[in-house]
Structure 1
């Protein structure tokens, strides 16, 4: 006698979707906080200190954006 097993994919419920959205928002907020803190810390450095790490003052925001958000 042959038996066939079928599995229906569990539908994603509203609570799972809400939890996912909450986690995405939480991660976005954490990344934004990291971005703001990093930019502030780098802006406090002197031009000489920035040059020592290979960064120009005019490139701070772009560089941090690329590293934090991957843009």
Structure 2
């Protein structure tokens, strides 16, 4: 029987942790920009246009949030 030994430690350099934080921040901003774009596009529609696609104006925020961030 073979045994595997994992020798990876949870220590990472300060630079790699900072890079990871920067990547997470950039990703969060990109998601937020996509949310705002989606929200603004839906909010710019008239009530009649929203009714045609089966959306109430009060649901625009939830729809934009679900579209970008998931359920």
Count of paired positions: 66
Aligned to 2:31: 31
Structure 1 Cα separation of the partners of residues 53 and 28 of structure 2: 27
Indicate yes or no: 2:57 matched with 1:57. yes
| Rg larger for | 1
- Give runs of ≥4 in structure 1 deviating > 3 Å: none
The Cα offsets for residues 23-44 of structure 1, whole Å up to 9 and x where unpaired, read as 0000100111111111111111
Aligned CA RMSD, in angstroms, stands at 1.7
Q: Distance in 2 between matches of 1:60 and 1:13?
A: 43
For structure 2, the 5+ residue unaligned runs are: none
TM-score (norm 2): 0.79
Look up the match of 1:8. 7
